[in-house]
């Protein structure tokens, strides 16, 4: 074959390959830059790394794999980074992703301060944020944006589901040990409202600088208050350390019940059933809830050798439904995606009876769970008994009371 003939053959092969690619792509689809790129900005090395972190990255990978690695014939890519629980680092990374790397959506954002900073950048750049790991109510309330989805939980739902039943069981007087940042403040404020609404009273609170490790002085103040319940308004490793130290200081022996305002299956695993058994708290997911949750959990376990937290399962759900919305809208434009996802029923391994509201919040069933005592557990990761299922319209902040400017009054 002559060099000229070889070049013509090579060009022909290239054109043929291009035609196959084009044929695989959906006619009329509008995908910016010819690729859908998802950024997972999470806590890989800090206090929340077990609840989100690399597990949330794996959950995103599972969703992309289940979607076949493409949407409308265009490839899906993922990038990830550690925000180190610092808003300035997080917002800088988000801006770089949008400007330099052409990322379409930034997800996870498991720190409320980081999430709020990222949301502002996304709105300015007309890109999407999907908050799955942060829970401050203001994310989908007064600070809501048309470019943001708030997926897994918020402090309102945790406080409502997690405190009212405890008050009704006799814990009338409460004391708070609270992380001194946006998320901790939100947990405390929402919890106080529901405690008082159920006939209880908050006697006082101590706020510690996040992250922390020595909670002894705060626990002594809680003991001195003689409160029936000591609410710990923090998460991750701080929560585990505070519960263990409360046990060492004898809170339970003094008749004071420890209540976690946000707890995950990894926290229970880290503390152990001996110390965590009997605790009540609100959850948004349990791996052993039904067939779909168990199917996802098995895939996750194969990759990580642990069961997923609610935040990791929620990250899977958010990624999967984002891709479904792109497919349905035939576009990755933010306005098209938001309009479409708000019209979709959300029902998957994580979300039961889900619906995205005008404020960008996904409302779905929540659960009141009790941690099993050691003798009740049938094996590894058999940690929860689901006591109550609370429908989303009862668990989450009523839309009629929303301060979100997107909500039609």
Structural domain boundaries in the chain:
36-153+289-364, 156-283+368-393
What pLDDT score was predicted for residue 4? 39
What pLDDT score was predicted for residue 3? 43
Alpha helices in 25-130 (DSSP H): 53-66, 87-99, 112-125
- In 191-344, which ranges are E strands? 201-208, 229-233, 257-260, 280-283
* Terminal-to-terminal C-alpha distance of the chain: 74
Q: Do domains 36-153+289-364 and 156-283+368-393 have the same CATH topology?
A: yes
The two three-digit tokens of residue 217, written as one number: 């002085």
What pLDDT score was predicted for residue 183? 80
What lies within 8 Å, CB to CB, of 35 at 6+ separation is 74, 75, 76, 77, 102
Q: Are 314 and 62 in contact, with CB atoms under 8 Å apart?
A: no
Ramachandran area for residue 368 (φ above 0: left; ψ -120 to 50: alpha; else beta): beta
**b/e 236-271 (16+ beta carbons within 10 angstroms → b):** bbbbbbbbbbbbebebeeeebbbbbbbbbbbbbbbb
The CATH number corresponding to 36-153+289-364 among 2.60.40.10, 3.90.1170.40, 3.90.470.20, 3.40.50.2300 equals 3.40.50.2300
The two three-digit tokens of residue 274, written as one number: 């001996």
What is the C-alpha to C-alpha distance for residues 204 and 175, in angstroms, rounded to an integer? Answer: 5
What is the C-alpha to C-alpha distance for residues 252 and 162, in angstroms, rounded to an integer? Answer: 19
What pLDDT score was predicted for residue 6? 41
Consecutive 10-residue averages of pLDDT for the chain (409 residues):
43 42 70 96 93 97 97 98 96 98 97 95 98 94 97 94 89 95 87 94 95 94 95 91 92 89 93 90 96 98 98 98 98 98 98 97 96 95 96 95 89
What is the C-alpha to C-alpha distance for residues 204 and 174, in angstroms, rounded to an integer? Answer: 7
Geometric angle at alpha carbon 402, from 398 and 408, rounded to 5°: 105
Any bridge partners for residue 206, and if so which?
Answer: 177
Instruction: Please tell me what DSSP assigns to residue 352.
Output: S
CATH number of 156-283+368-393: 3.40.50.2300
What pLDDT score was predicted for residue 409? 60
Which residue do the tokens 């929560």 mark?
Answer: 239
Strands 257-260 and 229-233: parallel
């Amino acid at each position: 074959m002559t060099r000229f003939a070889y070049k013509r053959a090579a060009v022909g092969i290239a054109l043929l390959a291009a035609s196959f690619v084009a044929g695989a792509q959906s006619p009329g689809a509008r995908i910016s830059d010819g690729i859908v790129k998802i950024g997972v900005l999470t806590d890989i090395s800090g206090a929340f790394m077990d609840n989100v972190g690399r597990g949330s990255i794996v959950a995103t990978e599972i969703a992309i794999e289940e979607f076949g690695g493409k949407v409308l014939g265009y490839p899906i890519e993922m990038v990830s980074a550690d925000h180190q629980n610092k808003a300035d680092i997080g917002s800088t990374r988000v801006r770089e992703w949008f400007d330099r790397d052409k990322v379409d959506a930034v997800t996870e954002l498991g720190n409320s301060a980081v999430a709020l900073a990222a949301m502002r950048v996304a709105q300015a750049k007309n890109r999407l944020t999907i908050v799955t790991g942060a829970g401050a109510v203001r994310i989908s309330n007064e600070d809501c944006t048309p470019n943001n989805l708030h997926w897994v939980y918020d402090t309102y739902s945790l406080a409502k589901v997690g405190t009212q039943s405890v008050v009704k069981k006799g814990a009338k007087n409460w004391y708070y040990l609270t992380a001194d940042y946006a998320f901790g403040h939100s947990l405390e404020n929402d919890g106080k409202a529901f405690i008082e609404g159920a006939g209880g009273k908050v006697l006082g609170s101590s706020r510690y600088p996040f992250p922390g490790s020595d909670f002894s002085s705060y626990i002594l103040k809680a003991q001195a208050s003689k409160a029936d319940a000591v609410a710990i308004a923090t998460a991750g490793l701080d929560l585990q350390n505070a519960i263990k130290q409360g046990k060492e200081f004898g809170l339970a022996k003094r008749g004071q019940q420890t209540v976690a305002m946000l707890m995950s299956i990894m926290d229970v695993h880290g503390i152990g059933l001996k110390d965590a058994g009997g605790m009540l708290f609100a959850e948004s997911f349990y791996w052993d809830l039904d067939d779909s949750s168990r199917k996802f959990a098995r895939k996750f376990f194969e990759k990580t050798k642990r069961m997923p937290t609610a935040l990791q399962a929620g990250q899977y759900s958010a990624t999967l439904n984002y891709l479904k919305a792109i497919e349905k809208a035939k576009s990755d434009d933010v306005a098209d995606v938001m309009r479409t996802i708000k019209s979709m029923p959300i029902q998957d391994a994580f979300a039961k009876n889900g619906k995205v509201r005008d404020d960008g919040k996904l409302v779905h069933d929540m659960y009141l769970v009790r941690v099993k005592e050691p003798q009740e557990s049938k094996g590894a990761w058999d940690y929860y008994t689901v006591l109550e299922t609370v429908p989303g319209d009862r668990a989450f902040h009523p839309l009629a009371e929303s301060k979100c400017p997107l909500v039609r009054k």
